[in-house]
Structure formats: structure tokens, C-alpha cells
Structure 1
Amino acid sequence: MSDDALATWCLIRQEVDWSSAAEVDLTPVHPAVDGLAAWFNGPVRLRNADRADRLLAAMTESRAAAACGEPLTPALLANWQKLVLGVEEVHLRRSDAYAKGGRERYGLTPHTWQDFAAYLRQSADPSLPLPARAARAYLDIAFFHPYSDGNARLALLVLAHVLDREGIRLDEVEPLQTTRYADDPDGALDLAALITILIHTTHNRSTTQCERNPAGADR
């Protein structure tokens, strides 16, 4: 395997049969519990209240963009990342980056950010199942590693945005908090499968809640 994890990911990304991921019902899913907000207000807030507030602000912006049908672009992500990090300016990295204790290196070439922008646009490709698009976008952020800090947080926001554009929100996101590797095509499809399961379980729990409390569902 190349020691450049980003180059490895770009090859793996082309080899994965994303179309094999399960389709999901694109009926809007309104969870009984807002899983993303609950994650930020729960485990994240316990560790760092300021970080939680910044993530909630970025979540609000990402959801507003989703409601307008805005596609993912580097400029849109930069606006979210400024909120995530609590800074006035952010810049795409200008040199190689490292993660996983320095074991994974993400290279940089003259066409890295052109490729990044093109891959972000593919998150809106209707020819692929929604879970595959969300998983692939999440992994793109993880392995392009566009910023010096906060990439894992941004990846979760991006995944949620891809779902939210289709009117789907999850009632839990904790299962997504798992280390991913650039050279793992099976893991990439496993992430898509996990997203499918989370969508189904959110829908089922939401439906059950509405059946138990129809009056509350109308509020």
C-alpha cells in the first residue's frame, strides 16, 4: 500500500461498488429524538461546552443549507468549519497532513483541491443510493483531511447534510464514531450499510412514537 493514504483512498473510492449499497425510502424521516443535536449536547458537551456550542451553530448553518438544497462545495464547508473551530478564517491545508498518531499521511498534489471539489459535487448524484453518497462524502472529508483541525467533526456534519437534503435525520449518531481506514473498501460499504440501518431504525422508532402519541406528533 502507498504511504499516501489520500492517494490510496482515491483508488479505493473508484473500486468500491457504491451502487451495491441498499436503497432507502426517501420519505422524509422526522426522528422522535434529534440524534445529531443530542450527540453535541450530550457526550460532546460533557467534554467541552464551548465545542458543543460551536458544533450546534455549524449544525444550524448546515441544516439551513440543506433546506435550500445547497450542494456541498469547499466554500460552504469553510463557513461551517469557521464555526466548528471558532475562528474567523480557515484555509485548506498547504502541506501533507497526518492522523492516527502519525500512522496515516494525507498527501498534497497540484490537483488535490480540484479533485476534492469534484468529489463533493458527487454527493448529490441521484444515481447512487443515498447511504452510499453519505458514506462516501464522510470518507472524502476524513481522507482529504482538508483542514489542520476538526476534520472528524466536519465529516459528521457533511454526512448529516447529505441526508438532510433528502429530508432525513437520524435519531442516533454514536455508532458512526468509529475509526475508518483509507485502504478498506469493505469498510466503506460497511459504513453505507450502517447508515442504512440507522435510517431504518430511526424511521421505525419515529413511526412507533407517533402511533403511541398521535396528538404529540401534531404539535
Structure 2
Amino acid sequence: MTTETAHCVDSLAVWCEVRDQVDWAAAAVLCETPVPVRATVDGLATWFDETVRARDAARADRLLAAMARSRADAVRKRPLTLDLLAGWQRLVLGVPEGGSDVPFRQGDAFAKGGRERYALTPHTRQDFAACLRQSADPEVPPAARAARAYLDVAFFHPFPDGNARLALLTLAYVLDLEGVRLDQVGPLQTTRYADDPGGAADLAVLVNVLIRATYRRGARARANS
């Protein structure tokens, strides 16, 4: 798809259709794991403090601050809302302390070198809020809810910048509310496309695989300690 063609396609509308096609309840059901899942290594913190820091120390510090805020919010069991995300995003982007939260985007957004366009309509904000509320749906396994929330942030693209970073924080938050912390997040760092229902389901499966692997490694470490 050329950039010119992509500008004619609303990838957010495509994602909303794809989102409804995926059987989220079935996508991760085969990999249920007892909770809580206690990681011997904090995968998210390690990713920020090592992989991200090797490229940009200031960005790593901002992400660790946002992670700390999100985990404090998880302790308080705060529901996933746009206002909650905006507070994290202020830290992700380094808005000075006391500054206002990052506002919702004011126009169409683009990603992947302009190959995906996420249109802004009068309903975008409320549609995004409705999707965020579904992150607490008890009928869907936590791994699938976390994967879906990750993709919602990626494709609704709520803020002018930093949405990929926010998507990872969101995935981790949904799991944290369920007592799950992964010991690695590197495998999640793969480009996702709005028009790929198979890829969306595969992300849910991948999150469950990572949960199970974290659980097994943690259980072995406790048994050997």
C-alpha cells in the first residue's frame, strides 16, 4: 500500500471492524495460568532500564516514572480510562511537573511512515473510552484483554506522540490489575497492523505464552531457593 493510498483508508475504522471479528475469549483460553504470577525478573522495568536506556537515557527515566505511576494506580485498582492514560503520558513525554495532562489528539494521526491513518471523528474519543472499559470484562481472559487494550491504544492513537510506549504500559497495567507481571516484554516489540485479525489473536496468544513462561520460571526459582 502506498502512502497516498493509505491516506484514503481509515485504519482506525478498519481496526474497529477487526476488533469485533476476533474471538477474544477463545484466543487465550488454552493458556490459563494461576494468579498471582510472580516474576523473578521485572521484565518491564528491565526493558526500560536496559534496552531503552542504551538508546536514550532520558526516555528510559521518563518511562520508569510512568511505570511507577501506573503501578501505584494498579494498587488502587483504578479503572483504565482516558484520564488515567493522560496522566501516564505526561510522564512518558516529560511534561514538566505541575503541567496539564496531555490532550487527546486534535486531528487525524499517522503511523508506520504514513502507511496507516487513524481518522478523528466526533465519536473517536467516546469510542476509545468504551474500548478501555472493556479491558475489565471478566468474560475475556486477562491476556486477551491486555493484548486488545494494547492494540486499542496503538490504533486509536489517542495522543500526538508516544502512543507505542503508552500501549506497552497499558498492556502491563491490565495484567498488573490481575496480579500478573511478566519477566520479559521483548517479544512484544513487533509491528502490528490494524487490518490483521490473525495478528491480533496471535498477540493474545503471545501474551499468554509469556505469562505461562513467567509462571514456570518463577515456580522453578522458588522451588530451588
Q: Choose the corresponding residue for 1:116, options 123, 128, 131.
A: 128
Choose from 59, 70, 92 the match for 2:104: 92
Does residue 140 (structure 1) correspond to residue 157 (structure 2)? The answer is no
1:20 aligns with 2:26: yes
Query: Partner residue of 1:207?
Result: 219
TM-score scaled by length of structure 2: 0.92
Instruction: Measure, in 1, the Cα distance between the counterparts of 2:149 and 2:36.
Output: 20
Q: Give matches, 1:32-111, under 5 Å.
A: 32-87=40-95, 88-89=99-100, 90-111=102-123
- The TM-score normalised by the length of structure 1 is 0.95
Instruction: Quote the offset at 1:27 in angstroms.
Output: 1.3
Which residue identity is paired with 1:64? A
Task: Compute the RMSD of aligned alpha carbons.
Answer: 1.1
Q: Among the aligned pairs, what percent are the same residue?
A: 63
How far 1:36 moved relative to its partner?
A: 0.2
Q: Is the Cα–Cα contact under 8 Å of residues 26 and 166 in structure 1 kept in the other structure?
A: no
Structure 2: tracts of 5 or more residues without a match:
1-5
- Stretches of structure 1 lacking an aligned partner (at least 5 in a row): 214-219
SS of residue paired to 1:153: helix
* 1:3 and 2:15 aligned: no
Question: How far is the alpha carbon of 1:26 from its aligned partner?
Answer: 4.1
Matched position secondary structure for 1:105: strand
Give, as a single letter, the amino acid of the residue that structure 1 aligns with 2:91.
L
Measure, in 2, the Cα distance between the counterparts of 1:141 and 1:148: 12
Deviation at 1:147, TM superposition (A): 0.9
2:39 counterpart (31, 34, 39): 31
Stretches (4+) displaced over 2 A = none
